[in-house]
Chains A and B, each alone.
Chain A
């Protein structure tokens, strides 16, 4: 046996994190938002489930631009430091843009919470495993990037507790959740200008006509 096999694979049930469901977790998050917090949904299923959880004026839905959910959320958080900003990203999407974790760690926005929905799959393209699936730990990567307030949610209750903590945190937080391979429940209407204009109205940047 080679020495490496003495170490358990990181992304296995041995990590003691329950496999949950994206739509259920997104609904639990949205139910906790009381102060017009902004929520940025990444491409595909993260924004489909955000839409399905009930549209809010402070929701932004991405179409394409894989990996941009955290950078967009960082920009919103910097522009509106008094508003809490949440970002929902898939593990495959985050792998496209791991460097943004260092940027966020450097800038330390007080009002940004990142949620990584990790099923180890490119679910929307046919469920192919990501290169990270069996070997990498997204939360360990975040901690290694300097985001010390990063944790795996053990189960739904733990997820809600971490969301509560993030709502009053004084620095950026990251919550990793292991999810199943279920597709998104809804589908966002793909109208980028409407999405942006509605979001800016919701953030108080635009005034209703």
Chain B
């Protein structure tokens, strides 16, 4: 199993891959704290964020924990964003409904989308179906990024909107953007 290459349409013309866009846009918006629970698709992004001294980045044991950390840091004056995969998002309904949303915390979430467009694990494909209904039932802002040419706009505008409106946002990274994760014999 491996992270697949980005589809041909998503090959960067200016040398910027989707993960470069995430890193640079976080930086431009002064988002320094990046806790994560890893995903294969996020490997390069996580490695590059670790390598950049601008960021404070580390793994957490659960996604919920990362929500608590980013919330506390924001109240203390430090901006953060968290990285996870679809199944991790599925563990967050309670903490979103009882902390991030009612306390008006601009929680910025990047979710690597598993469970669709070539999924090989039935459980992943089932849990993926819960993600957008949960986001919609909480009336949360969310976007699914599928194209590199739109990606910087979506990420930058979503971060700015989350901060100015003090509302969480989920940015779902589609396999159309990232290549996803595929089964290899």
Contact = CB atoms under 8 A, between A and B. Distances in A.
B65 A103 contact: yes
Contacts of A98: 61
**Is chain A's binding surface mostly helix, strand, loop or mixed?**
helix
A76 B80 CA distance: 12
Interface in B54-108: 56, 58-62, 64-78, 80, 94-95, 97-99, 102-105
Best-buried of A64, A83, A200 by chain B (most CB within 10 Å): A64
Nearest to A96: B64
A195 interface: yes
A40 B73 CA distance: 13
A14 interface: no
A82 to B, nearest CB: 11
A80 interface: yes
B73 A75 contact: yes
A75 B77 contact: no
B78 to A, nearest CB: 4
B67 to A, nearest CB: 8
Given A62-B99, A64-B94, A65-B95, A100 B61 contact: yes
Interface of B: 33, 56, 58-62, 64-78, 80, 94-95, 97-99, 102-105
Contact of A192 (B59, B65, B103): B103
A97 B97 contact: no
Contacts of B62: 97, 99
A65 B103 CA distance: 11
Contacts of B68: 65, 68, 70-72, 74-75, 100
Contacts of A74: 68-69, 72
A72 B72 contact: yes
B72 A196 contact: no
Nearest to A202: B75
A63 B102 contact: yes
B62 to A, nearest CB: 6
Interface string A94-112: 0001111011001100000
A203 interface: yes
A208 interface: no
Contacts of A176: none
A67 interface: yes
Interface in A95-140: 97-100, 102-103, 106-107
Given A60-B75, A64-B98, A72 B69 contact: yes
A80 B77 contact: yes
Nearest to A191: B102
Given A79-B78, A100-B65, A63 B72 contact: no
Contact of A67 (B64, B73, B105): B64
Best-buried of B60, B80, B94 by chain A (most CB within 10 Å): B60
Contacts of A67: 64
A51 to B, nearest CB: 16
Interface string A169-199: 0000000000000000000000011011001
A108 to B, nearest CB: 11
Given A72-B68, A76-B72, A196-B104, 7 more contacts: A64-B99, A65-B98, A68-B65, A72-B72, A72-B99, A75-B70, A99-B60
